[in-house]
Amino acid sequence: MRLPESLSRLIYNAIPSHLVGEILTKRWVDNLVPFLLLSAVIAIFGTAINGFFAPASLLDTTRQLGEFLIVVIGLTIVMLGGGIDLSVGSIYALSVFMSVLGIYLWELPVSLALVLAIATGGLCGAFNGILIGYLRLRAFLTTLVTLIMGRSLYDILIIVWGKQLQMSPVLNDQFDYIGTGSLGGLPVSILIAGVFALLAHVLLSRSRLGWHISAVGGSRRSAYNAGIPVRRTVFLTYVISGLSAGIAGFLFAARLSGAGPGTGAGLELAALTAAVVGGNSLGGGRGSIAKGLMGAIAVLTMTNGLIRLGYGTGSNQLVLGFMLAFAVVLDIRWAKNRHKVLAEVYVAPVHHRMSGEESALPNGGGAYALNDRLSEASPIALGEVEGPEDVILDEDGNLYAGTRHGEIVRWFAPDYKRSEVFAHIGGFPLGLAMDRDGSIKTCVGAMGLYSIARDGEVTRLSTETNRSWLSVVDDARLRDPNDCDIGPDGRVWFTDSTTRYDAHDWVLDSIESRPTGRLLVYDPKTGRTKTVHDGLRYANGVCLAHDGRSILIAESWACSVHRYWIEGPKAGTMECLIADMPGYPDNINRASDGGYWMAWLGVRTPTFDLSLRHPGFRKRMTRRLPGDDWLFPNINSGGVIKFDETGRIVGTLGDLTGNNHPMVTSMREHKGELFIGGILNNRIGRYKIPGADPDWTSWKSYWSSTTETVAEGGPSQAARRRESAETTLPEGRA
Amino acid sequence: MSVLKSGTLSQERIVFLFAIVLFAAYAVLLDGFLAPNNLMAILRSVSVLGILAVGMGIVVVGRGIDLSMVAVMAMATAWQLAMINAGTSPFLATVIVFAGVVAVGIINGLLIAYAEVPAVFATLATASFVFGLVRSRFIVQDAVPVPPSASFILEFGQARLAHMPIEVVMFAIAAFLSFLVLRFTKFGRYVYYMGDNYQAARTMGIPVRPMIIGQYVVSALVAWLAGLITAAGLQSINTRVVNSTLLYDVILVVVIGGIGLSGGKGGMRNVVIGALLIGIMLNGMTILDLPNIYQNLIKATILLVALVIDSRLNPRDEQVGQQGDI
């Protein structure tokens, strides 16, 4: 290997550049910008203001934070549901007034005053909710108007009652304690806010209502179609917001023991800025309590800091207006361009070099030389089936295949003209295996491992495996389960081709060529799945060896077949059986003569092989060119390869015309015939294998306890028949 | 509903009839309502509101909204007067403020058209920003008087044209010019297309983004004009008007007049009718000696009812509505 290539291998294979894309897929990166902003704000004001971090100063700030945070949380919930609530400022003011009125004029106990404040907030919120949720008014203007209404009402009330409140002789120690007391060094209000935040977080992330709110905010119409009561959910978000403003107002009243003309003025702008600066998305769907918390702290620190630094009237509005515009622009551009950035940087190719000694050229003379025999295969279900990735037959000779439509279709023996939907799964069934009891185990693309009983009942077996410690993407999830086979003890061995891409993006994995494929095993006794081997470049077909002691695994983008020992002295280890084939292997299945059939989904090309050695080239290609112009592996011509237990290639089948089976993803031998499937094909091929055992079936080979005798009995029966023919012929002639 | 939709009884006509009925009722019930001075007072009282509504109307027809108008109106004028007070030549001050006002319009337009921020947020943010910037940096007190060196402003305020106060004349001119622009120029027709279906207008090749900027520059300039007229009439400008309900009165005029907030509908006639109705209503309440805060409550309630009716008459089109259009 020349130096530049060694260097590029070092750079692209050693530096985990794929992590950038994986981190960007995480929802928590949304919090990164608000978090940095918050840190910056605290750092700036912490250094600019003397004694900012002094306990007394912090105590005072956190006391205000408690009230403000509760308001912001309410607004966050409304925004998450796709709305907005500007009336929080006046609801807050009205609740302050009602608390004060309750305590100082009506001389209510604290608990009743709290109820009064909360009820005020809830009623105002319900008023908003009816207008916006049920009457479907525009949230922004409506709450702007209710803000004015509430504010006017408050002004009227404060003029009417203000004097009486000022003169009130009532002293309520409990009330004062809530406002000015501390518990364990923390102000009461921040403790209440903390509990409130926790409850709101649980509500949003763990409860049905919370999920409904996110769903409505994310896509109102989809939520409606999914049966979520959209209007009621929207209504409830405003009620929650009103309640929050009510609680916050109560805390404010307790802190200041009174209400003045300016109470709550401008709060709506500060709260809105806080919610947006924290990273809650306008228009809904994205947001969390943590974001609201970060925004609240940032905005409060800033507004308080400006006052303490002595900046005059208007500076707050100046900064809030700027922050609001900046945060909204950032939020909108981020939401709009995130997937573009992700698409730009996600593909992170690595260097991969394969030897190119073998060739599949038809007249190349090598062991892999493809021929034209598959063009003779007769088609089944021509034009009726779409994408039979894998095919399998039962003991009665009925044919099963998964289709693009998320179904397993059964064609009836012997002529396969009649068909029925055997089972509807909903995902694309990729690998099929027949269990001892005749049920079918299937790997469903992007879903997991499923079992289909003989009566067509679908059972989910596994959708996750163990999470590895250092992965950024959630590799517990099965992204691309591809093929499965069943061991003698009933354990299901299956592959998950890649942890980087979803099933429909499998070609991107070929361009990246990063070894993330895995071999997994599902144990029916425990119901658990675990990863037994990883680091494969697109783990694909699996097949239990004839002796049941090892598993053969196809590694598509490395063009290799491996053997994984499940018992014996080498149990748990993997060894390479065939390396650097000229084609990309897909499913592997047993053959009647003790060998194996292997499907090739395509053959290698020198150009793509070369590009695999130049990760920088592929990286530039994916960044600068539209997808249609990318260089992909050739999947237009594949074939079927037969190899024996030692990995020696003993035969090939190809379709040089490209009419019948240009790309082969599976094949299954049954009673002397080979049934051929292709994930992009519109037919299932049926090919008579010359000289194959006419009684051999795959199921018998796996599950008949007399496998050996049948295998031996086959030829002997045939021999007997031949003998009888020979014996009868002379008679006939005679 | 069906009657309203059939066109025989459009919202505009309802409002017009309501205005006449209200006028008649006040005329009968309130002493001095029909006095010529009072009628002139009604016209004068609505003219600043009407001028603002002309600018807002153009923006709303294009499916936008400009919440920064009152801030621009007060702060641009205050800044201009403060500069003249401080000795800057009136001409230079006017040029600087003109540049500033245009800049605010352009920022609004850039945020809305290019950064795709919903208009309500963009203009809410710029309103706060403009108020904060001018209040904290350029002026020292809430109210800025018109300085003697700018007496031309006062003379302008005293001017009469055909016995009409200048603000009424300016309202008429602004409304008529906007009517001509909206009805007879390419720009005006495009504003309607854009308001009716933004995506379709864009696909047609209408330069929607520059046009949005144009709209907000126009509304900012109109707001400034309203500010100058206010200053001319009151001999000073009080920046506290930003925190008043004037902005909602403007929206009230536009919505009540029948320019649907979903855009593409209505015109200057609606603005005039809406302004008259509000003027009559406020005048009556003032004669009845209702305190300001009660008036605010009543106006807000009427605006809310108007919004409900608007949403019934012009339901939001789910097909062309954007995600996040709140």
* Residue range A625-643: mean pLDDT, rounded: 91
SS (H, E, C) B68-92: CHHHHHHHHHHHHHHHHHCCCCHHH
Q: Tens digits of per-residue pLDDT, A202-258?
A: 999 999 999 999 999 988 888 989 999 999 999 999 999 999 999 999 999 998 887
CA-wise closest residue to A533 among A542, B255, A525: A542
Distance CA A86, CA B254 (A): 21
Which residue of B lies nearest to A282 if distances are taken between CA atoms? Answer: B324
CA-wise closest residue to A145 among A84, A98, A99: A84
Chain A closest-CA separation from residue B205 CA (Å): 22
Distance CA A397, CA B254 (A): 76
A713 pLDDT higher than 80: no
A411 pLDDT higher than 80: yes
Q: Nearest 5°: phi and psi at A565? A: -80, 125
* Residue range A173-186: mean pLDDT, rounded: 82
CA A27, A29, A34, A38 torsion-angle sign = positive
Q: Tens digits of per-residue pLDDT, A311-354?
A: 877 888 898 899 889 888 888 888 788 888 888 889 999 999 99
Q: Tens digits of per-residue pLDDT, B184-200?
A: 999 999 999 999 888 89
In chain B, which residues have their Cβ closer than 8 Å to the Cβ of A144? Answer: 248
* Residue range A657-679: mean pLDDT, rounded: 93
Q: Would you state the pLDDT for residue A408?
A: 95
Nearest to A145 among B120, B248, B294 (CB): B248
Helix (H, G, I), strand (E, B) or coil at A564: strand
CA-wise closest residue to A513 among A466, A574, A560, A445: A560
Both tokens of B206, joined, read 């209408």
Q: Tens digits of per-residue pLDDT, B85-104?
A: 988 888 999 999 999 999 99
Model confidence at B302, pLDDT cuts 50, 70, 90, reads: confident
Chain B closest-CA separation from residue A312 CA (Å): 6
DSSP A477: B
Mean predicted lDDT score pLDDT of chain A: 89
- CATH class of the domain whose range is A18-343: mainly alpha
Residue pair B316/B261 in contact by the 8 Å Cβ criterion? no
Q: Would you state the pLDDT for residue A575?
A: 95
Task: Give the count of beta carbons closer than 10 Å to the beta carbon of residue A122.
Answer: 22
DSSP B322: P
Chain B closest-CA separation from residue A224 CA (Å): 13
Greater pLDDT, B24 or B3: B24
- CATH class of the domain whose range is A373-465+474-704: mainly beta
Q: Would you state the pLDDT for residue A723?
A: 41
SS (H, E, C) A570-631: CCCCEEEEECCCCEEEEEEEECCCCCEEEEEEEECCHHHHHHHCCHHHHHHHHHHCCHHHCC
Chain A closest-CA separation from residue B241 CA (Å): 14
A524 pLDDT higher than 90: yes
| Complete DSSP assignment for B145-206 | EPPGGGHHHHHHHH-EETTEEHHHHHHHHHHHHHHHHHHHSHHHHHHHHHHH-HHHHHHHT-
Residue pair A600/A639 in contact by the 8 Å Cβ criterion? yes
Both tokens of A3, joined, read 């130096």
**Cis ω before A34 (30° cut-off from 0):** no
CA A17 from chain centre, in angstroms, equals: 20
Q: Would you state the pLDDT for residue A504?
A: 84
Q: Where are the domains of chain A?
A: 18-343, 373-465+474-704
DSSP percent split of chain B into helix, strand, coil, nearest 5: 75, 5, 20
Q: Nearest 5°: phi and psi at A107? A: 55, 45
Model confidence at B6, pLDDT cuts 50, 70, 90, reads: very low
Distance CA A648, CA A138 (A): 72
* Residue range A353-365: mean pLDDT, rounded: 87
A37 pLDDT higher than 80: yes
Task: Select the residue from B112, B124, B294, B325 to test the A interface by mutation, using most A Cβ atoms within 10 A.
Answer: B124
Distance CA A629, CA A608 (A): 14
What's the ipTM?
0.86
Distance CA A680, CA A280 (A): 43
Chain A closest-CA separation from residue B184 CA (Å): 31
A600 pLDDT higher than 90: yes
In chain B, which residues have their Cβ closer than 8 Å to the Cβ of A93? Answer: none
Q: pTM for this structure? A: 0.78
In chain B, which residues have their Cβ closer than 8 Å to the Cβ of A155? Answer: 293, 296
Residue pair B79/B261 in contact by the 8 Å Cβ criterion? no
* Residue range A398-406: mean pLDDT, rounded: 94
CA-wise closest residue to A606 among A301, A360, A379, A434: A360
Helix (H, G, I), strand (E, B) or coil at A437: coil
A630 pLDDT higher than 90: yes
Q: Would you state the pLDDT for residue B13?
A: 76
Distance CA A176, CA B108 (A): 46
Chain A touched by B244 (CB under 8 Å): no
Chain A touched by B129 (CB under 8 Å): yes
In chain A, which residues have their Cβ closer than 8 Å to the Cβ of B290? Answer: none
In chain B, which residues have their Cβ closer than 8 Å to the Cβ of A137? Answer: 307-308, 311
A725 pLDDT higher than 60: no
Model confidence at B316, pLDDT cuts 50, 70, 90, reads: low
In chain A, which residues have their Cβ closer than 8 Å to the Cβ of B129? Answer: 317-318, 321-322, 325
Q: Would you state the pLDDT for residue A54?
A: 80
User: What contacts A186, CB < 8 A, 6 or more positions away?
Assistant: A62
A221/B117 touch (CB, cutoff 8 Å), yes or no: no
Q: Tens digits of per-residue pLDDT, A618-629?
A: 999 999 998 899
| Complete DSSP assignment for A690-706 | TT--TT-BHHHHHH-TT
Q: Percent of chain A beyond pLDDT 90?
A: 61
**DSSP E strands: which ranges in chain B?**
143-145, 160-161, 164-165, 236-238
The lowest-confidence range among A96-100, A596-600, B44-48, B207-211 is B44-48
Model confidence at B2, pLDDT cuts 50, 70, 90, reads: very low
Task: Select the residue from A127, A216, A324 to test the B interface by mutation, using most B Cβ atoms within 10 A.
Answer: A324
A135/B311 touch (CB, cutoff 8 Å), yes or no: yes
Which residue of B lies nearest to A83 if distances are taken between CA atoms? Answer: B326
Strand arrangement, sheet containing A419-424? A391-393, A399-402, A407-411, A419-424
In chain B, which residues have their Cβ closer than 8 Å to the Cβ of A319? Answer: 132
A716 pLDDT higher than 80: no
Greater pLDDT, B249 or A120: A120
A332/B117 touch (CB, cutoff 8 Å), yes or no: yes
| Complete DSSP assignment for A108-151 | --HHHHHHHHHHHHHHHHHHHHIIIIIS---HHHHHHHHHHHHH
Q: Would you state the pLDDT for residue A170?
A: 80
Q: Would you state the pLDDT for residue A728?
A: 38
Q: Percent of chain A beyond pLDDT 70?
A: 96
A156/B134 touch (CB, cutoff 8 Å), yes or no: no
* Residue range B231-243: mean pLDDT, rounded: 87
* Residue range A170-193: mean pLDDT, rounded: 84
AA identity, residue A212: H
Q: Where are the domains of chain B?
A: 2-313
Greater pLDDT, B45 or A666: A666
Distance CA A683, CA B260 (A): 58
* Residue range A428-454: mean pLDDT, rounded: 94
In chain A, which residues have their Cβ closer than 8 Å to the Cβ of B128? Answer: 269, 317-318, 320-321, 324
Greater pLDDT, B280 or A493: A493
Q: Would you state the pLDDT for residue A727?
A: 37
Chain B closest-CA separation from residue A31 CA (Å): 20
Residue A162, burial from CB neighbour count under 10 angstroms (0-12, 13-18, 19+)? middle
